[in-house]
Amino acid sequence: MKPFLTAFAVLFAACSLAPEQGDADAEATADAGATVLDAAVISAHLMGFSGVASLPRDSAAAQPFLTAMGYASQQAYQDDMVSRMGALSAPMARGHIFYAGQGQFAVEGVVARLEAAGADVYGWVNPAGPFEALDAQFDAALTALVKAHPAIRVWQLGNEPDLLWKDPALYPAFFLRAQPLIRAACPDCRIALAGISNQYDSSSANYQLFDGYVSAIASGSYTGKAFDIFDFHYYKEAPRSDEIASAASSYRAILHKYGMDEVALWCTETGLYTGDPPSPQLGPRTEEEQARDLPKLVSWMARSGVERIYLWTLVEAVEADGIAGLFDSMGLVYNGIGSETSQGIAAGTAKKAYTTFGLLAKALQDITGATELSAGVERIETAAGPVFVVWSEGGSVQASLTGLSASKVKVQELVPDAQGQTPSTSADVVDGAVFIDLTANPRLVTLVP
């Protein structure tokens, strides 16, 4: 992946037939329950962002927010997003693309910037309004869209049809119409099923709905493998290990039922909010809690076999009223709008989790598996060797890491202190083992080369 560069200017515009212009690691004995991922098909990066440039799609509606956030233009805003992603070692993003009808696709402006910067961006194709019918114009436009974006190697068809489609039963027909077009335009591209909503009070209903989708798709007419990626979304007040493991297992069971065990599992929407958003009523959360929960969320998802994790979002979103109040609060950087004005929080101020995210993203690359060694002690396999994320859970106060091949380990704080620092210490390895004191705040343990 080439270094991040400042991409050339391009506005969010409709397109159809033309592209836009516009520390080594410690070793411990892994148990037989470790999840092993397919290293041949996963990205070098585990963590990225969905909703990278989350503004009203209408330029006139977006400009007041841009001005309030201190950006002279959408181009300046998008450049900042690309720059921050590079600085965080997280050049992985979901690129939003909307079908506006009459053979026209509208591509989020930041997509071209991400492509030019060498980012790993995937195409997320959705209707501007719920699909009720498709025609030859759509077919031609989708084919042209895929060919116009050769850097995009993954295409996702739809999003949360259980929530966002006027008639969700139409989703398999849409998928089966679009899938052969993408396979023909880009035979080696991967295809993702629409993300499944698994939010606050999720029940068996959405599992049943997606079971029906996969059944209809499996028995339909498609080209090659039906799809390569199954996507679930996870938004809760605080992450729970058992909940994530149960969800992953349930989705895997659906795929196994239809002979799709080789399909990868992604989470393209998740997040941890700060403050006390008006909707839904989940309770207040602090910056420290957001930063403390992020390593747990990432570790638990990796252990459940999730190959890619996309946070919503980088800089706080600017969206509509209602449930978007939650999404407005999930960014790693404040936008300085609304209640933040009265609190004296300037736009562009990084939250504690911004630093936490960067430390995790740099350490957790080329993930091949993960194991829980004990409560609050997670071993994550990378191509370079294992990395440990550790914290106190259930009263445990110390962890023993054994089978280490180095003389020292580095122990890095993952939650910034009051001065914004994440101090690190070293510990001696004696007879291949080291004892690490556990605290409420997660720490990153790596081998000292």
pLDDT at position 394 is 77
Q: Encode pLDDT of 346-403 as tens digits.
A: 999 999 999 999 999 999 999 889 999 999 999 998 887 789 999 998 777 999 999 8
pLDDT at 66 over 70: yes
**Residues 4-30, mean pLDDT to the nearest whole number:** 29
pLDDT of 128 reads 67
Residues 128-156 have a mean pLDDT of 89
Question: Per-residue pLDDT tens for 71-84?
Answer: 999 999 999 999 99
pLDDT of residue 43: 56
Write the pLDDT tens digit of every residue in 160-190.
Answer: 998 888 788 889 999 999 999 999 999 999 9
CATH 3.20.20.80 fits 13-22+44-367, yes or no: yes
The residue among 198 and 367 whose pLDDT is bigger is 367
Q: Is the pLDDT of residue 329 over 70?
A: yes
Question: What is the model's pLDDT at position 382?
Answer: 86
What's the confidence (pLDDT) of residue 26?
29
Per-residue pLDDT of 296-324, as tens digits, reads 999 999 999 999 999 999 999 876 543 44
Q: Which CATH architecture has domain 372-447?
A: Sandwich (2.60)
Mean pLDDT along residues 23-44: 39
Kindly state the average pLDDT of the residues 6-10. 26
User: Where in the chain are the domains?
Assistant: 13-22+44-367, 372-447
**pLDDT bucket at 204, cuts 50 / 70 / 90:** confident
pLDDT at position 348, please?
A: 93
What was the pLDDT predicted at 203? 57
Question: Tens of pLDDT along 211-232?
Answer: 999 999 999 999 999 999 999 9
- The arithmetic mean of pLDDT across residues 77-101, rounded, is 93
pLDDT, the chain, mean = 85
Q: pLDDT tens digits, residue range 274-301?
A: 998 876 778 899 999 999 999 999 999 9
3-state SS record for the chain = CCCCCCCCCCCCEEECCCCCCCCCCCCCCCCCCCEECCCCCCCCECEEECCCCCCCCCHHHHHHHHHHCCCCCHHHHHHHHHHHHHHCCCCEEEEEEEEEECCEEEECCHHHHHHHCCCEEEEEEEECCCCCCCCHHHHHHHHHHHHHCCCCCEEEEEECHHHHCCCHHHHHHHHHHHHHHHHHHCCCCEEEEEEECCCCCCCHHHHHHHHHHHHHHHCCCCCCCCCCEEEEEEECCCCCHHHHHHHHHHHHHHHHHCCCCCCEEEEEEEECCCECCCCCCCCCECHHHHHHHHHHHHHHHHHCCEEEEEECCCECCCCCCCCHHHHCCCCCECCCCCHHHHCCCCCCCECHHHHHHHHHHHHCECEEEEEEEECCEEEEEECCEEEEEECCCCCCCEEEECCCCCCEEEEEECCCCCCCCCCEEEEECECCEEEEECCCCCEEEEECC
The pLDDT-based confidence of 1 (bands split at 50, 70, 90) is very low
